[in-house]
Amino acid sequence: MKQLLKSTTTNFEQIRKLLCNYNEKEVCFLCIGNSLLSDDGIGCYIAELLSSKIKEITLINAENTPENYVSKIINLKPKVLIVIDAVEFSSHPGDIRIIREDEVLSYSYSTHSLSMNMIIDYMRMEVDFDFYLIGIQPGTIKLGSYFSSEVLESANKLIGLIRSLYTQKS
């Protein structure tokens, strides 16, 4: 078993700086997850709460089939694609990491049918964009529609950050 680091949570200031590099019309959020598998559904939770509160951003709730939204993303021609998903990176539940495109292969996507790299490569044939994955370390991925408290707390902080950025700009 890998030893957990004391604190690997991404500073929310890093996420704020990343998002501030793009205006809301240049960003596409692709939220992924399986809401039947507890913490794995956190991306769907984030998408649902953001879509009901902020209309200015492009947000796709892909659930566990991001490949179904490739054409839509290509047509949107975003400057940046930001995927939000539960990602196993052997850390504390609720820890968040910004994962760059070149790091994506190192992380698990076992609950999704196609690899994220295949999806990105396909879209890149049509449109150029920056790519980042905001990964949230799950606490549990068991059958059930509940979230662990640490994952829910991190998700709500992330939602608050995104709301604050786009509410100020609108």
Report the domain count for the chain.
Answer: 1
Closest CA to 19 of 54, 49, 44, 52: 54
DSSP character string of 15-67: HHHHHHTS-TTTEEEEEE--TTBGGGGHHHHHHHHHHHH-SSSEEEEEET-GG
Convert the pLDDT of each residue in 6-47 to its tens digit. 444 567 999 999 999 998 889 999 999 998 999 999 999 999
| Predicted confidence (pLDDT) at residue 170 exceeds the cutoff of 80 | no
| Predicted confidence (pLDDT) at residue 150 exceeds the cutoff of 50 | yes
| Predicted confidence (pLDDT) at residue 4 exceeds the cutoff of 70 | no
> Given this model, what pLDDT does residue 168 score?
52
With H, G, I as helix, E, B as strand and everything else as coil, classify residue 83: strand
Span 53-58, average pLDDT: 78
In a domain, 2, yes or no: no
Range of the domain at 66: 12-169
Sign of CA dihedral 6, 99, 136, 49: positive
In a domain, 3, yes or no: no
Q: Where is average pLDDT lowest: 63-67, 78-82, 135-139, 140-144?
A: 140-144
Closest CA to 159 of 87, 71, 52: 52
Sign of CA dihedral 156, 33, 110, 115: negative
In a domain, 79, yes or no: yes
> Given this model, what pLDDT does residue 118 score?
86
Model confidence at 54, pLDDT cuts 50, 70, 90, reads confident
Residue 131, strand partner residues: 81
Span 56-77, average pLDDT: 94
In a domain, 67, yes or no: yes
In a domain, 1, yes or no: no
In a domain, 84, yes or no: yes
Span 59-73, average pLDDT: 95
Q: What does pLDDT average to over the chain? A: 86
Please report where in the chains the tokens 């793009």 appear, as a residue.
Answer: 22
| Predicted confidence (pLDDT) at residue 53 exceeds the cutoff of 80 | no
In a domain, 4, yes or no: no
Closest CA to 119 of 111, 131, 108, 107: 131
> Given this model, what pLDDT does residue 6 score?
42
Span 105-110, average pLDDT: 53
Cα separation, 116 vs 105, whole angstroms? 8
Answer whether 98's CB lies under 8 Å from 14's CB.
Answer: yes
Span 112-129, average pLDDT: 85
Tell me the backbone φ, ψ of residue 161, rounded to 5 degrees.
-65, -50
In a domain, 7, yes or no: no
CATH code for the domain in which residue 104 is found: 3.40.50.1450
